[in-house]
Amino acid sequence: MKILCILACIISLDVILTLIQIYVFNHSQSYSYEQYAILLLGIFAPLLTAVLLWIKVFNLKYLNKLGHIFIKM
């Protein structure tokens, strides 16, 4: 369980640093919409992974139930 917690922390930190990178570089150069889409897709996968790991680490049963409700819809 400690390994999952460390992994979730590392992935969360990666997402935060990527958001900071986008913010800083946005002021130094202008991105096209395609570049923004690629950067946001690069954030989405690690963010989803981090959220799933945090759910597993904290064993948030109500979030698991919420996920099952959305799957049934």
Query: Band of the pLDDT at 69, cuts 50, 70, 90?
Result: low
DSSP annotation string for the chain: -HHHHHHHHHHHHHHHHHHHHHHHHHHHSPPPHHHHHHHHHHHHHHHHHHHHHHHHHHT-HHHHHHHHHHHH-
Spatial separation of the C-alpha atoms in residues 53 and 69, rounded to whole Å: 19
Q: What is the pLDDT of residue 58?
A: 73
Query: What are the residue boundaries of the structural domains of the chain, listed by start?
Result: 2-72
Q: What is the pLDDT of residue 64?
A: 62
**Residue 3: what residue type?**
I
Q: What is the pLDDT of residue 63?
A: 61
Q: What is the pLDDT of residues 22-49, one digit of tens each?
A: 777 766 677 677 777 777 777 787 888 8
